[in-house]
Amino acid sequence: MNDLIIQLKKVNYRYNDLRVLEDIDLEVEKKEFLGIIGPNGSGKTTLLKIILGLIPPENGEVFLFQKPISKFKDWQKIGYVPQKATQFDKNFPITVEEVVSLGCLHTVDHKKIENALSIVEMGKFRKRRISDLSGGQQQRVFIAKALCSSPELLVLDEPTVGIDSNSQEKFYDILSHLNKDHSITILLVSHDIDVVVNEVGKLVCINKKLVYEGQPKEFIKKDYLEKLYGKGRKFIIHGH
């Protein structure tokens, strides 16, 4: 068995009477760039919350870095960019540097902060208030924050919502660089199939159950999209 970063065995989740996730099995290996897609309400964010230990599964097992999640303590190994990262209170008085420093929680390592900001090319904005930046720039700052603790796994939930296409392109370039050159395992959740299939190394599609797991290109060839989203969906592949 290779280095498993995430392992889910028969994970179920129910919200009141509504079944949200059913028998999900999932394995993420070191250095993988995995995309999780699915329609709205398919359970993507719930799955992510279970992986991050924010909610416990109804049943099933979750392992992080080969440890049962209940015994997992090395949370600094995981960098997380939440879905609503850029939807913070715009009056919150905080600078780019201060946001990034939250990522390296128990140390005030200025070198690490500078390094994380230079990876996302935001070094010159250090002293600016985060609310003064554009959505794309803010998202890069949140990645820098997630990078501050030198994580081995980066988890991103719908990171490009509300960000223009130029900034999105830049954003995916940074993720690809982190994955290839810094060997960071990436787990990206998105509803934006068109872009995701082009960027990730492995694709998982869920709709309460696991619908597809494999190469993104295979996913496009087969008729999964029609099953998931209904007939008549136009599929555009964006190239760089």
Nearer to other proteins, 54 or 237 (CB): 54
Contacts for 12 with CB less than 8 Å, ≥ 6 apart: 19, 21, 22, 23, 24, 57, 58, 59, 60
Q: How far is the CB of 111 from other proteins (least distance, A)?
A: 17
* Adjacent-strand bridge partners of 157: 189
Nearer to other proteins, 103 or 216 (CB): 103
Q: How far is the CB of 148 from other proteins (least distance, A)?
A: 10
Q: How far is the CB of 174 from other proteins (least distance, A)?
A: 19
Q: How far is the CB of 90 from other proteins (least distance, A)?
A: 11
Please choose, from the candidates 82, 133, 77, the residue with its C-alpha nearest in 3D space to the C-alpha of residue 105: 77
Nearer to other proteins, 130 or 228 (CB): 130
Please choose, from the candidates 51, 23, 56, 53, the residue with its C-alpha nearest in 3D space to the C-alpha of residue 36: 51
Q: Which residue has the tokens 């159950």?
A: 209
Nearer to other proteins, 89 or 181 (CB): 89
Q: Which residue has the tokens 């949140």?
A: 142
User: Distance (Å, rounded) from C-alpha 157 to C-alpha 44?
Assistant: 9
Q: Which residues sit at the interface with other proteins, rule CB under 8 A?
A: 52-54, 73, 75-76, 78, 80, 82, 85, 88-89, 91-95, 97-99, 101-103, 105, 127, 129, 132, 149
